[in-house]
């Protein structure tokens, strides 16, 4: 009896912006860099994210999942500044959206929302790993705006390098186990834009390498 051909790994990608890293993943699918893989769903929290266009142009299912209806349904109470209830309801519905697509893995590629346990727990219960691209070395800069902060510290002679990493997503933001990471020298950059270009160029190969590494780990455990 012949061995059945393994089905391609199903990838869901979360985005918020241009989607150049999504584009790198789309181009890499079913090449030696990312074999037997296909992106089956792209979800954005921003309606104007150009990444949605990149996905549609590649005939990939897209969903816009915005926060505004949740903020309207759960108005802030007692001055809760970061709208806990709205965020939890948003994340619970995002988890349902993701799970319905039966992915083998979720990749955050410039997804600019902090994910709460209302998302993390249901997805983890389905044994779906979540990984994230972050423009910093492990344990260095945390959160949004890290490229700007690295540039500001370089200009203040407080650092000469930064980095990029792909890491597993856990509740503590940007503190999940690194999968792959690279150090990037800032020396020679003459502007923030220079540094952003240098970082983006290196991210596009790292996100493919990190996604493939996470999928290989899954297949070793017979999950993908
Ligand atoms: N629980 C986790 N959620 C997310 C992680 C993570 O590691 N754990 N990684 C991020 C991506 N990310 C950095 O890599 C990141 C993105 C956004 C923010 C943030 O402060 N977002 C604000 C909203 C900002 C905005 O609307 O412009 C917020 O959510 O209040 C921090 C880190 C993906 N999520
Ligand atoms: N904290 C997360 C974060 O800052 N992510 C950053 O968002 C950009 C997405 O670019 P893209 O939309 O062109 O792929 C990337 O530079 C990535 O490092």
**9-138+164-185+204-219 CATH:** 3.40.50.170
Which residues have CB under 6 Å of ligand 1? 82, 108, 111-115, 132, 134, 143-144, 169, 171, 173-174, 176
Residue with tokens 């584009």: 23
Annotation says 134 is catalytic: yes
Which residues have CB under 6 Å of ligand 2? 15, 17-22, 51, 109-110, 133-135, 144, 146, 200, 203
**Mean pLDDT within 116-138:** 98
Residue 219 to residue 91: CA distance in whole angstroms: 28
Q: Whose CA is nearest to atom 16 of ligand 2?
A: 200
pLDDT in tens, 48-64: 999 999 999 999 999 99
| Centre of ligand 2 from the C-alpha of residue 142, in Å | 13
pLDDT of residue 10: 98
Closest CA to 43 of 67, 59, 23, 61: 61
Helix (H) or strand (E) holding 202: helix 192-220
For residue 135, the ligand 2 atom closest to its alpha carbon is: 18
Q: Whose CA is nearest to atom 5 of ligand 2?
A: 110
Residue 21 to residue 153: CA distance in whole angstroms: 25
**ipTM at complex level:** 0.95
For residue 145, the ligand 2 atom closest to its alpha carbon is: 4
pLDDT of residue 129: 98
pLDDT in tens, 77-95: 655 555 789 999 999 999 9
For residue 169, the ligand 1 atom closest to its alpha carbon is: 7
Residue 168 to residue 184: CA distance in whole angstroms: 21
């Amino acid at each position: 009896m012949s061995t059945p051909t393994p089905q391609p790994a199903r990838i869901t990608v979360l985005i918020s912006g241009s989607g150049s890293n999504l584009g790198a993943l789309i181009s890499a699918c079913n090449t030696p860099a990312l074999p037997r893989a296909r992106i089956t769903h792209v979800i954005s929290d921003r309606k104007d994210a150009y990444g949605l266009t990149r996905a549609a142009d590649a005939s990939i299912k897209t969903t816009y999942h915005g926060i505004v209806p949740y903020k309207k349904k759960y108005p802030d109470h007692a001055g809760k500044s970061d709208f806990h209830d709205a965020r939890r309801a948003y994340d619970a519905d995002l988890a349902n959206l993701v799970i319905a697509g039966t992915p083998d893995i979720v990749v955050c590629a410039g997804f600019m929302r902090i994910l709460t346990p209302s998302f993390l727990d249901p997805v983890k219960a389905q044994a779906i790993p979540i990984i994230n691209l972050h423009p910093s070395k492990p344990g260095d800069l945390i959160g949004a705006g890290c490229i700007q902060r690295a540039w500001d510290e370089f200009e203040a002679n407080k650092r000469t390098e930064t980095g990029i990493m792909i890491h597993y997503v856990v509740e503590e933001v940007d503190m999940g186990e690194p999968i792959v990471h690279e150090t990037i020298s800032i020396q020679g950059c003459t502007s923030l834009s220079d540094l952003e270009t240098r970082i983006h160029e290196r991210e596009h190969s790292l996100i493919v390498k990190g996604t493939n590494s996470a999928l290989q780990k899954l297949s070793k455990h017979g999950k993908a």
